[in-house]
C-alpha cells in the first residue's frame, strides 16, 4: 500500500512544478510589476528603474522564477496592487469563509446523495428510482449560476427567508450563539443549492454499485448461507458500493472550488471566489496569481487524497 | 452522420453488392429518438428556438441594440419595447434574440473544435496505447485539474484585441480534454476487436484504420458527446458572460442578460430584464440534455446486444 501511495505522491510533484511554471509565466504576461501598488506618482523614473534592478526584474526569467518559488516557501506572495497589504493576509480571512461554505456544502451534498442513491438502487425502475432520476435530470442540466440566481431571487428576495449578501448581518445580537446562528443563516441557502446540484454523480455511482453488487458471487454466497437480508444489504452490498464514492471526494472538492467564483459572486459571499472577482475587476494581478496557484494546488492535492483514500479502502487497487 | 455514410459505401463497394446492413449507430439512435414523444417535442422546441433567434436576428434593427439613454429603464410591455429596456436604453427583446443566437453559435463552435481535437487525440491515444497513451493521459489529467474558469477569466483580461473568436479558442483549450478521454476509452475497447486485427493483417495503414474503421464504430458516442457538449459549452460561455468576462460588452449573450440579476435592484424589481434569458437558457439546456440522454440510452442498448 505504501508503495502505491508513494508512487502517487511522486506523480504529484512534477504536476505542481509545471503548475507553478505556468502560473509564473501567466503572471509575467500580466501588466504591472511588484511596485505598482507602492509607487507614488511623484516618484522619479530613475528610482523605479533602480528598484526594478534591485528586485531582480531584469534577471533572466528562470532566476526570477526560482526567486519567486523561494518567496512562496516563505509565505511571501507579494503585495496587493490596490489594498496596500500583503496578499497572504488578504487571502487569509477569505479562505476561512470559503472553507466553511465548502464544508457545509459537502456535508449537505452527501446527506442528500447517499439516501437517494440507496433508494434508487434498491427500488430499481420502480417509482422511487424514477422520481430520483427525474430529480437528477433537473439538477444536473441546470447551469450552476442559473440555479444560484433563481434561488437568490425566490428565497432571498421574494420570500425573504434568507439574507441575500455577506456572511454575517451588521445588526446581529451580541453573544457567540447568536453570531453562529446568524452565520449559519447566511451559509445555508448557497450551500443548499450547491449541494442539491452536485448530487448527480454520487447518486449514479451508488445506484449502479448497488445494482451491480446485488448479483455478485459473495452476495449470493451470503444469502445462501442464510444471512438475514438486512445484513446482506448493509454489510455486503452497501459497503462495497460506497467504495467508489469515498474516492470521489477529491473531485467533489475540485468541483466546489471551481464553483466558488460563481456561488460567491451571486450570493455576495466574501470568500476566495469573490476576492478573485474583485481582484480581476481591479486588475490586482498579484492576488489573482496567488489565488490560481492556491486553487490549482488544492485541486491537485484533492486528487491525491482521492487516490490515497481509494488505495486504503479498496485493496484491489494496490495489486496493479 | 457523415462517418456513417462513408462506412456504408465502404461495405457496399467492398462486398460488390448492397447487402442488408446491421442497423448503424445513427439509425438506431434515430429510431430510439422517434419512439420517445418528449424527445420529439424537445427537438421541435429547439428548432423553434433556433428559428426565433437566427431568423429573429435578421429583423433586429441596429438602433435597438444601440445605447439610447432617453429610452433607458422602460418597463416591460411599453410601446415598441415588448420586454422593456436596460439602463442604456437597449431593447431587451432584441438583446434576447441576438444574445440567444450568439450563445448558441459559440456553444456549437466550441463543441466542434473540442470534439475534433478530442477525437484525434482520443483515437491516437487509444489506438496506439503504451507510451503515447501515457503521455497524452498525463497531459489531459494535468489540464483537467487546472482552475480553468479562473485561467480563462484572467486570459480574457490579458489578451489584446480580445473578441468572440478568442473566447471560442479559450474555452476549447480546456474542453477538448474530457472528449479525448471519453473517446479514448471506447477506442481502447475497439482496438482488440477482430475487424481491427483483420485490417492490420491486410496491410491497412494505421491512419486508415483509425479514421475509416474505428471512427465509424464509435459514431454513436460522437453523437452523444456532440449533443451533451453543446449544452455544456453554452453553460460555460453564458457563465463567463454572466460574470462579465465572456463575450465582449458589445456582443450580447444570454449570460450578459442574466448578469443584470447581479444588481439587487434588477433582480428584485425588474425581473423581465433577466428572467426571459434564464427561461431560454433553461429550455435550451434541458431539451438538449434530454435528447442527449435518449441518445445515450440508445447507444447503451446497442452495446448490450
Rounded to whole angstroms, the Cα distance separating B142 from B106 reads 25
Rounded to whole angstroms, the Cα distance separating A23 from A83 reads 22
Contact A291 B150 (CB under 8 A): yes
This prediction's pTM: 0.85
pLDDT at residue B21 greater than cutoff 60: no
**Which chain A residues are closer than 8 Å to B151 by Cβ?**
26, 292
- Reading phi first (left if > 0) and then psi (alpha if -120 to 50, else beta), residue A75 is in left
CB-nearest partner of B282 from A142, A152, A254 = A142
pLDDT digits (tens, 9 = 90+) for B169-210: 999 999 999 999 999 988 988 888 888 888 888 888 888 888
Low-confidence ranges of chain A (pLDDT < 70): 32-43, 54-57, 316-320
CB-nearest partner of B267 from A30, A144, A157 = A157
CB-nearest partner of A149 from B145, B146, B258 = B258
Topology annotation, domain A90-269+303-317: MetI-like fold (1.10.3720)
Q: Which of A144, A146, A197, A284 to mutate to test the interface with B (most CBs of B within 10 A)?
A: A146
From B67's Cα to the closest Cα of chain A, the distance in A is: 23
CB-nearest partner of B239 from A143, A277, A283 = A143
CA nearest to A280 within chain B: B154
Q: Does A303 touch chain B (CB under 8 A)?
A: yes
Q: Which of B139, B140, B145 to mutate to test the interface with A (most CBs of A within 10 A)?
A: B145
pLDDT digits (tens, 9 = 90+) for A196-248: 998 888 898 899 888 888 888 888 888 888 888 888 888 888 888 887 787 77
| Domains in chain A: boundaries | 2-88, 90-269+303-317
Topology annotation, domain B92-304: MetI-like fold (1.10.3720)
Model ipTM value: 0.84
From B56's Cα to the closest Cα of chain A, the distance in A is: 24
Average pLDDT over residues B216-235: 89
| Domains in chain B: boundaries | 92-304
Rounded to whole angstroms, the Cα distance separating B109 from B119 reads 15
Q: Which of A28, A30, A145, A166 to mutate to test the interface with B (most CBs of B within 10 A)?
A: A145
- Which cell goes with A301? 492535492
Secondary structure (3-state) at B242: helix
Contact B142 A254 (CB under 8 A): no
Range with the poorest average pLDDT among A110-124, B49-63, B134-148: B49-63
First to last CA, chain A: 11
Helix (H) / strand (E) element for A7: namely: helix A2-29
**Which chain A residues are closer than 8 Å to B245 by Cβ?**
280
Amino acid at each position: 500500500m505504501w508503495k502505491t501511495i508513494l508512487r502517487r505522491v511522486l506523480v504529484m510533484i512534477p504536476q505542481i512544478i509545471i503548475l507553478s511554471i505556468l502560473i509564473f509565466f501567466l503572471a509575467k504576461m500580466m501588466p504591472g510589476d511588484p511596485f505598482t501598488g507602492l509607487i507614488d506618482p511623484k516618484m522619479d523614473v530613475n528610482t523605479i528603474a533602480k528598484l526594478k534592478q534591485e528586485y531582480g526584474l531584469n534577471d533572466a526569467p528562470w532566476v526570477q522564477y526560482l526567486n519567486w518559488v523561494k518567496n512562496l516557501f516563505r509565505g511571501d506572495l507579494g503585495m496587493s496592487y490596490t489594498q496596500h497589504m500583503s496578499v497572504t493576509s488578504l487571502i487569509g480571512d477569505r479562505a476561512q469563509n470559503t472553507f466553511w461554505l465548502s464544508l457545509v456544502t459537502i456535508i449537505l451534498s452527501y446527506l442528500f446523495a447517499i439516501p437517494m442513491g440507496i433508494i434508487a438502487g434498491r427500488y430499481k425502475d420502480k417509482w422511487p428510482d424514477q422520481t430520483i432520476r427525474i430529480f437528477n435530470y433537473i439538477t444536473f442540466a441546470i447551469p450552476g449560476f442559473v440555479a444560484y440566481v433563481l434561488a437568490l431571487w425566490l428565497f432571498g428576495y421574494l420570500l425573504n427567508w434568507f439574507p441575500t449578501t455577506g456572511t454575517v448581518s451588521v445588526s446581529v445580537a451580541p453573544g457567540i450563539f447568536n453570531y453562529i446562528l446568524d452565520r449559519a443563516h447566511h451559509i445555508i441557502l448557497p450551500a443548499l443549492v450547491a449541494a442539491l446540484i452536485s448530487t448527480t454523480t454520487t447518486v449514479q455511482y451508488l445506484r449502479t454499485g448497488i445494482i451491480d453488487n446485488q448479483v455478485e458471487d459473495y452476495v449470493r454466497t451470503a444469502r445462501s448461507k442464510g444471512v438475514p437480508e438486512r445484513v446482506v444489504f448493509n454489510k455486503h452490498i452497501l459497503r462495497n458500493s460506497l467504495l467508489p464514492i469515498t474516492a470521489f471526494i477529491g473531485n467533489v472538492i475540485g468541483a466546489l472550488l471551481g464553483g466558488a467564483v460563481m456561488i460567491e459572486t451571486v450570493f455576495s459571499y466574501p470568500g476566495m471566489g469573490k476576492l478573485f472577482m474583485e481582484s480581476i475587476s481591479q486588475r490586482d494581478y498579484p492576488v489573482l496569481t496567488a489565488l490560481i496557484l492556491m486553487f490549482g494546488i488544492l485541486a491537485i492535492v484533492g486528487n491525491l487524497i482521492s487516490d490515497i483514500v481509494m488505495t486504503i479502502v479498496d485493496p484491489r487497487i494496490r495489486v496493479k | 452522420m457523415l462517418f456513417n455514410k462513408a462506412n456504408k459505401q465502404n461495405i457496399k463497394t467492398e462486398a460488390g453488392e448492397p447487402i442488408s446492413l446491421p442497423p448503424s449507430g445513427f439509425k438506431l439512435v434515430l429510431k430510439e429518438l422517434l419512439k420517445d414523444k418528449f424527445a420529439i417535442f424537445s427537438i421541435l422546441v429547439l428548432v423553434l428556438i433556433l428559428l426565433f433567434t437566427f431568423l429573429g436576428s435578421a429583423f433586429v434593427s441596429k438602433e435597438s441594440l444601440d445605447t439610447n439613454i432617453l429610452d433607458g429603464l422602460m418597463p416591460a410591455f411599453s410601446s415598441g419595447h415588448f420586454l422593456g429596456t436596460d439602463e442604456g436604453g437597449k431593447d431587451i427583446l432584441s438583446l434576447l434574440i441576438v444574445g440567444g443566437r450568439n450563445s448558441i453559435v459559440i456553444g456549437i463552435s466550441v463543441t466542434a473544435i473540442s470534439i475534433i481535437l478530442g477525437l484525434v487525440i482520443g483515437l491516437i491515444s487509444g489506438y496506439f496505447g503504451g507510451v503515447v497513451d501515457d503521455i497524452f493521459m498525463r497531459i489531459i489529467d494535468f489540464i483537467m485539474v487546472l482552475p480553468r474558469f479562473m485561467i480563462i477569466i484572467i486570459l480574457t483580461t490579458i489578451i489584446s484585441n480580445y473578441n468572440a473568436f478568442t473566447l471560442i479558442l479559450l474555452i476549447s483549450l480546456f474542453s477538448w480534454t474530457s472528449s479525448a478521454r471519453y473517446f479514448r476509452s471506447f477506442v481502447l475497447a475497439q482496438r482488440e476487436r477482430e475487424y481491427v486485427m483483420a485490417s492490420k493483417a491486410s496491410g491497412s495503414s494505421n491512419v486508415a484504420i483509425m479514421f475509416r474503421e474505428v471512427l465509424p464504430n464509435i459514431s454513436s458516442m460522437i453523437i452523444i458527446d456532440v449533443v451533451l457538449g453543446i449544452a455544456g459549452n453554452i453553460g460555460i460561455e453564458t457563465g463567463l458572460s454572466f460574470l462579465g468576462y465572456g463575450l465582449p460588452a458589445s456582443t450580447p449573450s444570454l449570460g450578459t442578460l442574466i448578469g443584470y440579476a447581479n444588481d439587487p435592484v434588477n433582480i428584485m424589481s425588474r425581473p423581465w430584464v433577466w428572467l426571459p434569458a434564464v427561461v431560454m437558457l433553461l429550455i435550451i439546456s434541458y431539451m438538449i440534455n434530454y435528447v442527449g440522454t435518449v441518445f445515450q440510452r440508445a447507444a447503451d442498448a446497442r452495446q448490450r446486444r
